């Protein structure tokens, strides 16, 4: 989709009576989804000129919204000078072809729009490979009927057999490219696995940010790490994963990973294409589930994130719920936030609650529990005492029987390494 392109939005919503069926979404959820589609279109730089909604008990198999509504949509879109119509549903190849013929305009569905955004956001080679794989996987079953030129007969040595249709050539080339992309991404996956192994060998704990798109994860990431990664109000502003170190109050080593935002009905082939990226979540010691506390539909956003984590097999992963953008919530509405004990209220933009969040992260990382222990030094061991102050949280320091006794709060793994490094010191057993 070109920047500043005029688009018209369309959606099919089940009638109120039809929502009683288990397979239909709630009526108000479908209404909110059209507003989300508007945000997605604006994120591509498009100009939304209007929208139309069809309410009926069942989808029309030929055009999704029915012949009469298609005529109404055509008149409205042309009157507004729209160049493209975007549907808030996945269209079948037949529906796509019929709608383009009837409307006389370019037609996209919700998945194509998301893929377009991903293609714009991808900056690294890995991101571009993942997006291309998702695009081709989506396009392959839809090659049939994409114009009469695809059905022309032809021949040629090294390209196609005598009498082979152009459609078959397109399919074969698409399959070959998909296979090549999968192999390239498998190499990326191996490299990521190697990097993760090196971090684990160095006792780096990883904390991963997850949440609905535009929940403010990148802004919070910058507030926690002091990084300057791009933060934007656009949906899917962060596509390529970013990892930075974060200083916890216990002085333990931790890495914070910012990942791609989730969205309702995220296309399955997108999840498959970004498998290498999402595997960062699998090895994380803790997930920070970030919610936009100011969004009116944040409950459904949270359910979408939870459902996707379950589909990735991460339902049992330790999680800390972070209510972000608290500065945008009126004080009178704060008590209505359905937070549980242990949840954290923060503002990545103003820095409110960031120290409390770091403390909660420290407490939640039970993979490497904090322990209280004492080290005894000779009074002239300034180097050892200084190392302990740099590496641990010193609780007390006293002189006893010509020995300096320093009591500290330190991760168990670091306690073992310090005891080895401070050869002149004597460490007591942790309590």
Q: Is the pLDDT of residue 27 over 50?
A: no
Q: What is the pLDDT of residue 114?
A: 85
> Rounded to an integer, what distance in angstroms lies between the CA atom of residue 53 and that of residue 27?
12
∠ Cα 116 119 120 (to 5°): 90
Delimit the domains of the chain by residue range. 6-108, 123-185, 198-364, 370-427
Tell me which residue of 48, 58, 46, 51 sits closest to 19, measured CA to CA: 58
Q: Is the pLDDT of residue 350 over 90?
A: yes
Q: What does each C-alpha distance from 8 to 80, 92, 111, 416 come to in angstroms?
A: 8, 19, 16, 63
Q: What is the pLDDT of residue 236?
A: 59
In 10 A of CB 343, how many CB atoms? 15
Share of the chain above pLDDT 70, in %: 75
Spatial contact of 229 and 256, defined as CB atoms under 8 Å apart: no
What is the CATH number that goes with domain 198-364? 3.40.50.300
H or E segment to which residue 133 belongs: helix 125-139
Q: What is the pLDDT of residue 30?
A: 56
Encoded tokens for 76: 């409205």
Global pTM value: 0.69
156 alpha carbon, distance to own chain's centre: 45
**Cα distance from N-terminal residue to C-terminal residue, the chain:** 62
> Rounded to an integer, what distance in angstroms lies between the CA atom of residue 236 and that of residue 263?
9
pLDDT band at 156 (very low <50, low <70, confident <90, very high): very low
pLDDT tens string 382-397 = 877 787 777 677 888 8
Work out the widest C-alpha separation in the chain, in whole angstroms.
97
Tell me which residue of 107, 21, 20 sits closest to 64, measured CA to CA: 107
Give the residue with greater pLDDT, 161 vs 117.
117
Share of the chain above pLDDT 90, in %: 23
Q: Is the pLDDT of residue 276 over 60?
A: no
What is the CATH number that goes with domain 6-108? 3.40.50.11060
Q: What is the pLDDT of residue 130?
A: 80
List, in order, residues 6 or more apart from 225 with CB less than 8 Å away: 244, 245, 246, 256
Evaluate whether 6-108 and 198-364 have a shared fold: yes
Give the residue with greater pLDDT, 324 vs 135.
324
Q: What is the pLDDT of residue 272?
A: 66
Q: What is the pLDDT of residue 254?
A: 83
What value does the mean pLDDT take over residues 411-430? 58
Tell me which residue of 107, 89, 199 sits closest to 146, measured CA to CA: 107
Q: Which fold has domain 370-427?
A: Alpha-Beta Plaits (3.30.70)
> Rounded to an integer, what distance in angstroms lies between the CA atom of residue 70 and that of residue 265?
25
Q: Is the pLDDT of residue 284 over 50?
A: yes
> Rounded to an integer, what distance in angstroms lies between the CA atom of residue 312 and that of residue 413?
30
pLDDT band at 167 (very low <50, low <70, confident <90, very high): confident
pLDDT tens string 77-105 = 999 999 999 999 888 889 999 999 999 99
Helices (H), 226-352: 268-273, 275-282, 298-311
> Rounded to an integer, what distance in angstroms lies between the CA atom of residue 412 and that of residue 146?
62
**What residues pair up with 276 in beta bridges, in sequence order?**
none
Q: Is the pLDDT of residue 309 over 70?
A: yes
Is beta strand 205-211 parallel, antiparallel or unpaired with respect to 242-247? unpaired
Instruction: Kindly report the average pLDDT of the chain as a whole number.
Output: 78
């Amino acid at each position: 989709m070109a920047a500043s392109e005029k688009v018209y939005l369309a959606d099919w919503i089940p009638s109120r009576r039809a929502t009683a069926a288990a397979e239909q979404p709630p009526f108000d959820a479908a209404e909110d989804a059209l507003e989300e589609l508007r945000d997605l279109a604006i994120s591509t730089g498009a100009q939304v000129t209007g929208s139309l909604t069809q309410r009926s008990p069942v989808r029309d198999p030929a055009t999704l919204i029915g012949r009469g509504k298609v005529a109404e949509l055509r008149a409205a879109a042309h009157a507004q000078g729209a160049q493209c119509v975007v549907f808030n549903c996945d269209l079948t190849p037949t529906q796509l072809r019929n709608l383009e013929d009837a409307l006389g305009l370019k037609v996209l569905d919700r998945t194509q729009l998301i893929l377009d955004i991903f293609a714009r956001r991808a900056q690294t080679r890995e991101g571009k490979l993942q997006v291309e794989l998702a695009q081709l996987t989506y396009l392959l079953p839809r090659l049939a009927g994409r114009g009469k030129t695809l059905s022309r007969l032809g021949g040629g040595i090294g390209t196609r057999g005598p009498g082979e249709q152009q459609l078959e050539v397109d399919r074969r080339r698409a399959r070959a490219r998909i296979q090549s992309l999968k192999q390239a991404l498998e190499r990326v996956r191996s490299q990521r696995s190697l990097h993760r192994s090196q971090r684990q060998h160095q006792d780096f704990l990883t904390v991963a940010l997850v949440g609905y798109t535009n929940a403010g994860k990148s802004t919070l990431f910058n507030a926690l790490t002091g990084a300057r990664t791009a933060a934007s109000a656009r949906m899917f502003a962060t596509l390529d994963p970013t990892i930075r170190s974060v200083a916890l109050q216990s002085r333990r080593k931790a890495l914070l990973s910012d990942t791609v935002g989730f969205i309702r009905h995220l296309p399955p082939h997108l999840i498959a294409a970004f498998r290498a990226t999402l595997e960062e979540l699998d090895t994380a010691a803790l997930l920070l589930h970030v919610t936009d506390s100011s969004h009116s539909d944040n409950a459904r956003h949270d359910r979408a994130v939870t459902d996707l984590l379950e589909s990735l097999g991460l339902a049992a992963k330790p999680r800390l719920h972070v209510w972000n953008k608290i500065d945008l919530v009126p004080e009178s509405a704060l008590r209505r936030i359905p937070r549980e004990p242990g949840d954290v209220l923060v503002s990545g933009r103003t820095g409110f609650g960031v120290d409390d969040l770091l403390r909660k992260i420290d407490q939640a990382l039970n993979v490497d529990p904090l322990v209280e222990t004492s080290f005894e030094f000779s009074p002239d061991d300034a180097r050892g005492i200084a190392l302990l102050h740099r590496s641990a949280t010193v609780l007390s320091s006293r002189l006893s029987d010509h020995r300096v006794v320093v009591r500290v709060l330190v991760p168990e793994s670091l306690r073992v390494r310090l005891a080895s490094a401070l050869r002149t010191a004597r460490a007591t057993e942790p309590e």
